[in-house]
Amino acid sequence: MNAHDLLWGMTPGHLPADAPAWVLDVIGAGHPVVVRRAQAEPGHVAVGVRGRLREQRFAAVMPLAAVRRRVVPEALCDVISPRNLPALRALAQLRTVLAKEIWGVTGSAGFELATGIEALHAQSDLDLLLRTPERLGRGDAEDLLAILDTAPCAVDLQLQTPYGAVALREWAGPSQRVLLKNASGAHLVVDPWQAVA
């Protein structure tokens, strides 16, 4: 399982006793959870539950044996929504730009495309993931960012390296060190394509 994968099969019985009522409602309704970057006990995966409000996010763990269905971000690239929102127009515009890459849709757009549950609104950003097993030069990152910045909404693209994820916007910027996020936490690094010491 990788960060941003959507998983179905979690039940209220998998939740801690202090889980808020909205979390029980979401899980009880059969909504998927999203894999998050965190350590979990063997046989389990760290997940997040998302509610209807932006601040409704709940961290939990799910037994791997409970997973009934998994949708990866890459599976959502070509899903077409009937809704006309800036984030979905941005996705349509960027499909050709990213066509030769290994990429996927995450965040609210990914959740909506995977479930049909309306999670996007007119001010929503578009969250994308680009798999970058090989190093992306900073000049290439700047060029890609310039294209993304022509989209009809803000686009937050994460570069997924073998060692974690770094924001394209940060990698394309002037800072020598950037924030690399992985299951062990967040690390300031010079090169996100090198193992964290």
If you average pLDDT over residues 184-197, what whole number do you get? 92
Cα 103–chain centre separation: 11
Q: How confident is the model at residue 79 (pLDDT cuts 50, 70, 90)?
A: very high
Average pLDDT, the chain: 95
> Which residues have C-beta within 8 Å of that of residue 142, sequence separation ≥ 6?
172
CA dist 147 and 163 (Å) reads 26
Q: Please count the CA atoms within 13 angstroms of the CA of 80 that sit on its side-chain side.
A: 3
Task: Show which residues are catalytic.
Answer: 125, 127
pLDDT at residue 178, rounded to an integer = 97
If you average pLDDT over residues 83-95, what whole number do you get? 96
The pTM of the whole model exceeds 0.95? no
Residue pair 170/161 in contact (Cβ under 8 Å)? The answer is no
Structure tokens at 57: 């996010």
pLDDT at residue 55, rounded to an integer = 86
The region of weakest confidence among 60-64, 110-114, 193-197 is 193-197
| Model confidence at 197: pLDDT above 80 | no
Burial of 148-179, coded b for 16+ CB within 10 Å and e otherwise, reads beebebbbbbbbbbebbbbbbbbbbeeeeebb
Alpha helix (H) residue ranges in the chain: 21-28, 86-97, 107-115, 138-148, 168-171
| Model confidence at 56: pLDDT above 80 | yes
Q: How confident is the model at residue 196 (pLDDT cuts 50, 70, 90)?
A: confident
pLDDT at residue 169, rounded to an integer = 97
pLDDT at residue 54, rounded to an integer = 80
Reduced to 3 states, what is the DSSP secondary structure of residue 14? helix
pLDDT at residue 52, rounded to an integer = 84
